[in-house]
Amino acid sequence: MACENGFDNAHILIHQDNMIVQSNNWVLPLGIRPVSNDCITTFEDDNGPSGLMQWLFSDRWEPILENQKLGIKVNGVNGRPYRTSFYLPGVLLVENWPEEYIAQYEWYVPITDDTYEYWEVLVKRCPTEEEREQFKYRYKTVLEPMALRGLHNSTYTQESLCKIFMVMDPAGTMSSW
């Protein structure tokens, strides 16, 4: 079982130059550091989901604003609050991303022993037909190209993965359950 990489604490760094981040004038921390033992909690429900919850944007986490090894510093954070969860059998949920009241689900679907498909789905509750049409339009013109295709496909994102795992301290990231 594996989870999409968005649950690791240094993941934010790889998205710093993406179009959706830059077009919204967001300034993201380089990562986040757990400062309490309950920053990630487990939940199990016989009649509902089981998984892990990261309590982001709370006093359980501290933003990392400087990395002296890479010579990178963030001056002031201007982001949007979101929360990540990991549900069995391996679905990542990012609530309030890429916009308020939208949730992004991500998961891998095994195709063969060594290949998979990667799925990303954005959902929003739209009680009226008019709201559904507005969301469809926003999805096609903004969210799909910027938040789905653009967020993970930049060269910087791919190159940054190597740097992150060379300098990060994985001790704070939950690696087993």
Assigned architecture for domain 5-172: Alpha-Beta Complex (3.90)
Distance CA 80, CA 98 (A): 9
Q: Which phi-psi region, left, alpha or beta, contains residue 28 (left: φ > 0; alpha: ψ -120 to 50)?
A: beta
> Which among 127, 122, 16 has a CA at the least distance from the CA of 70?
16
pLDDT at 89 (0 to 100): 75
pLDDT computed for residue 31 by the predictor: 80
Mean confidence (pLDDT) of the chain: 80
Residue-by-residue DSSP string for 84-150: EEEETTTEEEEET-SSTTEEEEEEEEE-SSS-EEEEEEEEE---SHHHHHHHHHHIIIIIIIIIIIH
Residue 11 has pLDDT above 80, yes or no: no
Listed in sequence order, the residues at least 6 apart from 76 whose beta carbon sits closer than 8 Å to its beta carbon are 27
CB 84 within 8 A of CB 105: no
pLDDT digits (tens, 9 = 90+) for 33-78: 889 999 888 888 888 888 888 888 788 988 888 889 888 888 777 7
Can you tell me the mean pLDDT for 72-86?
A: 80
81 has a pLDDT exceeding 60: yes
**124-151 pLDDT, tens per residue?**
999 999 999 999 999 999 999 988 887 6
User: What local confidence, expressed as pLDDT, does residue 5 receive?
Assistant: 58
Looking at per-residue pLDDT, the higher value among 30 and 42 belongs to: 42
Neighbours of 87 (CB within 10 A): 18
Q: What are the structural domain ranges in the chain?
A: 5-172
